[in-house]
Amino acid sequence: MRTQVGIIGGGPSGLILSQLLHLQGIESVVLERKTMDYVLTRIRAGVLEQGCVDLLREAQAHERMDREGYEHDGFNIAFQGECHRVDLKGLTGGTGVMVYGQTEITRDLIEVRRAAGGTIIEEAEVLGVEGAETDSPVIRYKKDGQEHTLICDFVAGCDGYHGASRRSIPSTLLKTFEKVYPFGWLGIMSETPPADHELIYTRHERGFALCSMRNENLSRHYIQCSLDDSVDDWSDDRFWDELRRRLPENVADTLVTGPSIEKSIAPLRSFVCETMRHGRLFLAGDAAHIVPPTGAKGLNLAASDIYFLSRGLIEFYKSGSEAGLDTYASKALRRVWMAERFSWWMTSLLHNFPETGGFGSRMQDAELDYLFGSKAALTSLAENYVGLPYE
Ligand code: APR
Ligand code: PHB
């Protein structure tokens, strides 16, 4: 089989890219290891920057998001028993964020790709990319026990952190950076009303907590947990009790609890692969970088990567120029590193780090005290949270 752009991975990165290319008359094939039904069982974050919203509109996958998503003008940080509001719109001169789950975005993207007759090959496990330094790289994949090849002009590695595309780049050329945090997030989804109409991030001596939401009767909550914990250690009752202990009293008192419909533990990691291009293989999204979820940047960084990559590919097919492809990695990485910094900073500010002792904890207190006393500091937080420009 042959196509113009071979896309490895049917997550948000791969699906947005294939749709944007299709709208410009460029053909692609998406190879996804799992079934799309399985992909839709994954629960991920749900806070979209304006740039991500605009890209989904450009991809014509925005109708349900515009109808069912929630525009948030601010969010809260709670510490020492009180909620403090970050007025995103006021601080940034009018920009907020959209609350709409990544699972729903993926569902919408699958729908528009299918309606357009797009090719998504499910249960196709990519084994590797060969000839990335030639004009016709080849993707090798396995489906139904048989090996197949997809010959392409370009390959987009959109296959997440554990994918095959990054591993296809010779290790001598890979430049990677990593930081692993000494805790995880235990998250639950429940059919209960959200704790508040806006998100609440909480710093507490027992550990971080986050109250988020999907809609009026669907809540997503997280608490910092030990990496040794397993979900079986956490009954719903234990989870709700622990969450309530960490929240300000007025929030805890009105919190509506109920049975969890999903419960999972995720480790926290910062990771960047600076080698986002190897010949005609381009990495995008989680394949190239991971952020801890504290700043809600994972999906938003995938969107900015795809913005730059789609423009580079479209320019190539329209004019033959490789200029946009040549600057892809540097443009994407600049924004990646800034979001890495912000996610690391928010993580460092709000979690418990027992190894930093009392001094570390006082530094966090002082930083929060400064933040809510300084419009300059709050503006910096707000402009990073709503998303830095695509440039
Ligand atoms: N062959 C084919 N598909 C693969 C392979 C492989 N060898 N390895 C992984 N995949 C698929 C996965 O099954 C997954 O569906 O690639 C897809 C990658 O999707 P995501 O992990 O969602 O990554 P991405 O599309 O870059 O989206 C980034 O997802 O993880 C969150 O925080 C992140 O919100 C961000 C978003
Ligand atoms: C979520 O709703 O899942 C969510 C929201 C904000 C974050 C992380 C996760 O920072």
Distance in angstroms (rounded) separating the CA atoms of residues 374 and 344? 21
* 154 plus 44 within the same structural domain: yes
The neighbour count for residue 195, using CB atoms within 10 Å, is 23
Q: What are the structure tokens assigned to 67, written together?
A: 């109808």
- Phi–psi pair at 315, nearest 5 degrees: -60, -40
Does a structural domain hold residue 87?
Answer: no
What tokens does 106 get? 């993926």
Q: Which structure tokens are listed for 64? A: 């349900």
CATH number at residue 197: 3.30.9.10
Q: Let me know whether 206 and 217 are in one domain.
A: yes
For the chain, the 3-state helix, strand and coil shares in percent, each to the nearest 5, are 40, 25, 30
Tell me, yes or no, whether 30 lies in a domain: yes
Q: Are residues 273 and 262 in the same domain?
A: no
Alpha-carbon distance of 348 to 68, in angstroms, equals 33
Ligand 2 and 46: CB distance under 6 A: yes
CA of 348 to the centre of ligand 1 (A): 26
Do 331 and 228 fall into the same domain? no
pLDDT at position 72, please?
98
Residues 194 and 336 in one domain: no
Number of domains present in the structure of the chain: 2
Tell me, using a 6 A CB cutoff, whether residue 18 lines ligand 2. no
- Kindly state whether residues 204 and 324 are assigned to the same domain: no
Residue having the nearest C-alpha atom to atom 10 of ligand 1: 159
Cα–Cα dist 141/67, whole Å:
38
- The answer as to whether 85 is a domain residue is no
Q: What does residue 85 show for φ and ψ, rounded to 5 degrees?
A: -90, 140
Q: Cβ(215)–Cβ(388) under 8 Å?
A: no
198 and 340: one domain?
Answer: no
In a domain, residue 107? The reply is yes
Write out the two tokens for 179: 């930081």
Ligand 2 within 6 A of CB of 163 = no
Q: With a cut of 70, which residues of the chain have pLDDT below it?
A: none
Q: Whose CA is nearest to atom 4 of ligand 2?
A: 45
Name the residues annotated as catalytic: 72, 201, 293, 297, 385
In this structure, what token pair is assigned to residue 228?
């040794």
Eight-class DSSP state of 221: E
Residue 188: predicted pLDDT: 97
Query: Is residue 81, in this structure, part of any structural domain at all?
Result: no
Tell me the C-alpha distance between 56 and 19, whole Å: 10
* Block residue for tokens 């952190």: 161
Q: Is residue 91 part of a domain?
A: no
At residue 6, the pLDDT reads 98
Residue 79 falls inside a structural domain: no
229: alpha, beta or left, given left = phi > 0 and alpha = psi -120 to 50?
beta
Instruction: With respect to residue 88, please indicate whether it lies within any of the assigned structural domains.
Output: no
**Residue closest by Cα to atom 19 of ligand 1:** 11
> What is the C-alpha separation between 249 and 188, in angstroms, rounded?
21
The rounded Å distance from CA 292 to ligand 2 centre is: 10
Q: What is the CATH number of the domain that holds 22?
A: 3.50.50.60
Write out the residue range of the structural domain in which residue 337 sits. 5-73+96-178+269-346
Judge if 237 and 280 occupy the same domain: no
Same domain as 65, residue 38:
yes
187 and 255 fall within a common domain: yes
Closest ligand (CA of 286): 1
Using a 6 Å CB cutoff, which residues line ligand 1? 8-14, 31-34, 39, 44-45, 102, 125-126, 158-160, 162-164, 285-286, 298-299, 302
Output the pLDDT for position 1.
Answer: 95
Residue 367 pLDDT: 98
DSSP 2: B
Does ligand 2 come within 6 angstroms of the Cβ of 294?
yes
Same domain flag for 34 and 140: yes
Asked if residue 360 and residue 319 are part of one domain, the reply reads no
CA–CA separation, 98 vs 67, rounded Å? 11
